[in-house]
Amino acid sequence: MTRRSLQTEDDRPELTIALDAACFIAIKARELDVKVEKDDPDDGSNPTDDHQIGVLDEDEDDPVLEEISAFINSLSEDAQIDLVALMWLGRGDYTAQDWESVRQEASDAHNEHTAEYLCGTTLLADYLGEGLALLNYSCADFEEQHL
């Protein structure tokens, strides 16, 4: 499938989710992407001695996962639908010209597990960024202010 973005900003659809909210989720999703499976659950070392590398271990009580899940759950249903549609668009399942139909499919599939679904998607940050870019949106300004 050819990855075609929209030609101008005038062509881009108006999103229900605020761009800052989508960008915040993408940034937090990057933090989830770097997590690795715990390889030593009984590690008794001092965090200072191991250069704080333990923060990269996956954990059921991961504060990043809790933060992003709570944030997604606090969004309106329409904003959650936009997130799923952006992720599908960025994953390469659709082109930018398919936005209305992909959003409708995301609406039809919407349920109370949106946060779990999105947080469980490997490369979520990349997919959201690519989906936004295909619609001529960018997180560059948001990232510049927050990173």
| Residue 36 predicted with pLDDT over 80 | no
Q: What is the pLDDT of residues 40-91, one digit of tens each?
A: 555 555 666 655 545 444 456 688 899 999 999 999 999 999 999 999 999 9
What is the full DSSP assignment across 39-86? S-TT----TTTTTTGGGGB--TT-HHHHHHHHHHHHS-HHHHHHHHHH
What pLDDT is attached to residue 33?
78
Q: What percent of the chain has pLDDT over 90?
A: 63
Task: State the average pLDDT for the chain.
Answer: 84
What one-letter code names the amino acid at 54?
A: G
- Which is higher by pLDDT, 74 or 141? 74
Count of beta carbons in the 10 Å neighbourhood of residue 89: 26
Percentage of residues in the chain having pLDDT higher than 70: 74
Range 129-134 average pLDDT: 96
Residues present in the chain in total: 147
pLDDT of residue 56: 45
Predicted local confidence at residue 70, as pLDDT: 96
pLDDT at 116 over 50: yes
